[in-house]
Amino acid sequence: MEVRYDLEYGVWSHGANGLVELAIDIVPLAVATLLTRWVWFHRRELEPVREEAARAGQ
């Protein structure tokens, strides 16, 4: 919703405040992408932790 609003009202083109809004929109996307990529490449290392947690719940 934030990105749609910014695009619809041209918020990103309003000087320094627009750059701040652009950063607010880009940073979460970048963090989510990097985190997803890291978890995907380390999924084999993370599986034993999940299995141990399942055993603890039994």
Looking at residue 25, what is its pLDDT?
92
Q: Give the C-alpha separation, 23 to 31, whole Å.
A: 12
- The amino acid that residue 38 corresponds to is W
Cα distances from 35 to residues 6, 24, 31, in angstroms, run: 25, 17, 6
Looking at residue 23, what is its pLDDT?
93
Domain that holds residue 10: 2-56
Looking at residue 51, what is its pLDDT?
64
Structural domain total, the chain: 1
| pLDDT tens profile 1-58 | 888 998 899 998 989 999 999 999 999 999 999 999 999 999 888 887 666 667 776 5
